[in-house]
Structure 1
């Protein structure tokens, strides 16, 4: 039983540390995603859309 105690403790510690790092990375990615989404929507509204949207095709002979 004593032989298994140290590996179990080390594996548990590693899983907890990796979980904390993973949650932190997900939160950072979420913040960056929100920032890029805001930037994209503001740039999208800044672009002026052309008033004439019809397409003129050349006549085929």
Structure 2
């Protein structure tokens, strides 16, 4: 079973990409920065979930 952090991380990454694109499109630098931050947060969550999955397998 996949760790919930991996799933949540993927969602954060996707949402962040959408926010970043919307910020670029509208010229809203704050929204663009929030999108990038969400992508980083999602990457961290995914890494934590991956580590948890690896530990479950041992």
Q: Which bracket does the TM-score occupy, shorter chain normalised?
A: 0.5 to 0.7
What is the number of equivalent residue pairs in this alignment? Answer: 33
Matched, 1:11 2:31: yes
Q: Could you say which structure has the larger radius of gyration?
A: 1
Moved over 6 A (4+): none
- Displacement of 1:30: 0.1
Q: Give the gaps of 5 or more residues in structure 2.
A: 1-25
Q: Structure 1 length as normaliser, TM-score?
A: 0.50
Q: Which has the higher contact order (CA 8 A, sep 6+)?
A: 2
Cα-Cα RMSD: 1.2
Q: Give the gaps of 5 or more residues in structure 1.
A: 39-61
Matched, 1:29 2:55: no
Q: Structure 2 length as normaliser, TM-score?
A: 0.53
